[in-house]
Chains A and B, each alone.
Chain A
Amino acid sequence: MQPGALSKALKNGAIWGFIVLELIFFSVAGEFMSLSDTAFMDWENMLLLLKQSAPIGIIAMGMTIVMVNGNIDLSVGATFAIAAIILLDSMTWPFMAAMGDWAIPFAWLFALIVGTLLGALNGLLVWKTGVDAFIVTLGSMLGYRGIVFMFNGENPTSHLNWTLVDFAEAEFLGIATASWFLLAATGAMWFLMTKTVHGRNAYAIGDNREAAVNAGIRVGPHMMINFAIIGFLAALSAVVFYSESGSVNPNDGQLYELWVITAVVLGGTKITGGAGSVIGTFGGVIAIQLLRKGLGHIGADTSTVNLVIGLILIAVLFLDRQLNVKGKEALKV
Chain B
Amino acid sequence: MTDTKPILRLDGIVKTFPGVRALDGVSFAVMPGEVHALMGENGAGKSTLMKVLGGIHQPDGGAIYMGDEQVVMSGPLEAKAKGIVFIHQELSLAEELTVAENIYLGELPRKSFGRVDWKTLAEKTNAILKKLRVGFDALTRVGDLSIANQQMVEIARALTVDAKAVIFDEPTASLTDAEKVVLFDVISDLKADGVGIIYISHRMEEIFKITDRISVLRDGQYQGTVATPETDEERVTQMMIGRKLDLTRNASHHELGDVALEVRGLSCGKLYTDISFEVRRGEVVGFYGLVGAGRTEIAETLFGLRDPSAGQILLDGEEVRLNSPVDAIARGISLVPEDRKGQGLVLGMNCRDNMTLPQVDDLTAGPFVAEGAEVAIFDQYRDQLDIRTPGWRARVGNLSGGNQQKIVIGKWLSMHPSLLIVDEPTRGIDVGSKSEIHKLLRGLAAKGYAVMVISSEMPEVLHVSDRIVAMYSGRIMRTFTSDEVTEDSLIQAISGLGGDGKAA
Contacts and interface: CB of A to CB of B under 8 A. Distances in A.
Interface string B77-102: 11010000010100011111100011
Interface string A301-333: 000000000000000000000000001111110
Given A208-B93, A329-B309, A216 B106 contact: yes
Contacts of A210: 92
Given A196-B115, A217-B105, A328 B94 contact: no
B114 interface: yes
B270 interface: yes
A197 B96 contact: no
Contact of A196 (B113, B268, B269): B113
Contact of B114 (A4, A198, A215): A198
Interface stretch (B200-208, B217-225, B300-308): B300-308
A215 B105 contact: yes
A198 B80 CA distance: 20
A214 interface: yes
B117 to A, nearest CB: 9
A329 B268 contact: yes
B307 A328 contact: yes
Nearest to A273: B96
Contact of A207 (B56, B77, B94, B110): B94
Contacts of B78: 216
B498 interface: no
Given A203-B97, A208-B92, A329-B306, A196 B105 contact: no
How many interface residues does chain A have, given as a range? 20 to 34
Contact of B105 (A198, A212, A331): A212
Q: Is the interface of B mostly helix, strand, loop or mixed?
A: loop
B97 A207 contact: yes
A327 B88 CA distance: 28
B107 interface: yes
Contacts of B106: 201, 212, 215-217
Interface string A185-227: 0000000000111101101100110111111110000000000
Given A196-B113, A332-B306, A204 B94 contact: yes
A214 B270 CA distance: 30
Given A203-B94, A208-B94, A332-B305, A214 B115 contact: no
Contacts of B88: 214
How many interface residues does chain B have, given as a range? 35 or more
A327 B105 CA distance: 30
Contact of A329 (B76, B94, B113, B307): B307
A197 B307 contact: no
A280 interface: no
A275 interface: yes
Interface in B99-132: 101-102, 105-108, 110, 113-116
A213 B105 contact: no
A204 B307 contact: no
Nearest to B76: A216
A203 B105 CA distance: 11
Contacts of B271: 329
Most chain B beta-carbon contacts within 10 A, residue among A2, A200, A274 = A200
Given A197-B110, A329-B269, A216 B77 contact: yes
A112 B306 CA distance: 53
B274 interface: no
Contacts of B270: 329
Nearest to B86: A214
A216 B75 contact: yes
Interface in A1-17: 2, 4
A328 B309 contact: yes
A200 B309 contact: no
A211 B105 contact: yes
A213 B144 contact: no
Contacts of A328: 269, 307, 309
A332 B324 contact: yes
Contacts of B77: 215-216
A201 B102 CA distance: 10
Contacts of A4: 144
A7 B268 CA distance: 24
A217 B108 CA distance: 11
B265 to A, nearest CB: 16
B55 to A, nearest CB: 9
Nearest to A275: B96
Interface string B43-85: 0000000000010100000000000000000011110100000
A200 B75 CA distance: 21
Nearest to A4: B144
Contacts of A195: 115-116
B107 A274 contact: no
B80 A216 contact: yes
A195 B101 CA distance: 12
Contact of A274 (B80, B96, B102, B269): B96
Contacts of A327: 269
Nearest to B269: A329
Nearest to B300: A331
A21 to B, nearest CB: 27
Nearest to A217: B106
A10 to B, nearest CB: 16
A278 to B, nearest CB: 15
B502 to A, nearest CB: 21
Contacts of B101: 200, 204
B59 to A, nearest CB: 18
A200 B92 contact: no
Contacts of A204: 94, 97, 101-102, 105
Interface of A: 2, 4, 195-198, 200-201, 203-204, 207-208, 210-217, 274-275, 327-332
24 contacts: A196-B114, A196-B116, A197-B110, A197-B114, A200-B101, A200-B108, A203-B97, A204-B94, A204-B101, A207-B94, A207-B95, A207-B97, A211-B102, A212-B106, A214-B76, A214-B88, A215-B77, A215-B92, A215-B105, A216-B77, A327-B269, A328-B309, A329-B270, A331-B305
Given A208-B92, A208-B94, A214-B76, 9 more contacts: A196-B113, A196-B116, A197-B110, A203-B94, A211-B105, A214-B86, A214-B88, A216-B75, A332-B306
Closest 4 CB pairs of A and B: A216-B77, A215-B106, A329-B269, A207-B94
